[in-house]
Amino acid sequence: MANIDAKLLFCSDKAVAASVTTDVIDLGKNGAVLQPLYISVKLTEGCSSGSMTSVKVQSAATEAFSGAVDEMTVNIPTSVVQTRPCNLAQFFAPIKPGNRYVRLVIAGSSPSGGKLWAYMSPDVQVPL
């Protein structure tokens, strides 16, 4: 099992909503590295109704996210069963060079009852 650094967590057991903005991760004074960062978004508790529909990655040069850049949006397939814990999205995201701060905006369609967990890593974590 992977060891997850608490500083790389976007959110942990955050309640689902029509729009969830996660905590901000500080990549450090040099900002993003040249390689894309691996991002994983999960439901730790399934939704009792509705569903999560997309994950948007945003970056910015300032922690206040003035001049934020929408790096990419990943649509969550409708085939993902969200009434139980599951992986919503796992992907590599390029971050604009020099942008120091990263956050996610996770959107849903009338979701309730579920809990979100998301983290970032410089590489894919696989169990041995």
From CA 68, how far away is CA 11, in angstroms rounded?
Answer: 19
From CA 73, how far away is CA 85, in angstroms rounded?
Answer: 22
pLDDT band for position 127 (cuts 50, 70, 90): low
Q: For the whole prediction, is pTM greater than 0.85?
A: yes
What residue ranges in 16-127 does DSSP mark as E strands? Answer: 19-21, 25-26, 37-45, 49-60, 69-75, 86-93, 101-112, 115-121
* CA-wise closest residue to 80 among 54, 57, 104: 54
Q: What would the pLDDT profile of 52-74 be if each residue is shown by its tens digit?
A: 999 999 999 999 998 899 999 99
Strand partners, 109: 51
